[in-house]
Amino acid sequence: MRFSILTLVAISFLFAPEVAQAERKHAPHSVSVSTDSLTWVIGGYSLIGTYIAKELPSFRFHGEVFGIELPESILDAHEPNRGEGWQRRIDGALMLSVDHHPFAGLRGFHWGAGFNVQRSTLGRRNHQGSSTYETFEPIVRVGYQWFPVTDGGLFITPYAVLGFPIHLNEPPAIDGEVYGEAAILPVASVQIGWRFPLTRQAKSSPDRQPTQE
């Protein structure tokens, strides 16, 4: 898996100059506001702000705040936690990341990297007490951004991400049991949002149909 990700990164940088040159005259400065649909399904929240510079049209820069209530089934999937009744809520998190669109012929495809800092509260079902701890989590991801309307605006972005959590402090034991966390955390979801151009976009040539970015 790590070899495949490194290979993808290397290929994307080889294609980057051609993509940037081809799209610079079409892409305006823009911002977008979006949310991650998964967070709302599991009792959380998400707000994402994105900026695209005209000089770097194949890159998107993101800032996100989010929080989620992790389902007990996900916590039990990590064998050391199984059957211990762990409950975890990410009370608040801040993530900074960048996505790169490397292929002119597949404009919606992108890979990205970044990190988040989280503060979580732990408890155990039918046990007294709780504890808090913080994590720093580097991430890598791939996804596809689709604009269902030709002129842009609304976008839908399915993606998959791998997180590598690092505990900044260790949560204390609750009734003799210590919470365990997997070294690699896979997540898949769909982001939904709206892009707002900050400068007027140049007209596309007749054979250009920018339905996807």
Domain assignment present for 84: yes
Angstrom distance (rounded) from CA 57 to CA 20: 6
Q: Which domain holds residue 111?
A: 2-197
Domain count, the chain: 1
- φ, ψ of residue 20 to 5 degrees: the values are -60, -40
In this prediction, the residues of the chain whose per-residue pLDDT falls under 70 are 1-27, 151, 200-213
**Does 104 map to a domain?**
yes
- Name the pTM for this structure: 0.79
Q: What is the dihedral of CA 41, 42, 44, 47, to 10 degrees?
A: -40
- Within a domain: residue 207? no
Query: Is 3 in contact with 11 (CB distance < 8 Å)?
Result: no
Residue 8: phi, psi to the nearest 5? -60, -40
pLDDT for 210:
45
Residue 65 lies in a domain: yes
Residue 128 belongs to some domain of the structure: yes
| 208 lies in some domain | no
Give CA–CA dist 102/147, Å, rounded: 17
In-domain check, residue 156: yes
Q: Which backbone phi and psi does 19 adopt, to 5 degrees?
A: -65, -45
Q: pLDDT at position 185, please?
A: 94
> So what's the pLDDT on residue 4?
45
What's the CATH number where 76 sits? 2.40.160.20
Q: What backbone phi and psi angles, to 5 degrees, belong to 172?
A: -70, 160
90 in a structural domain = yes
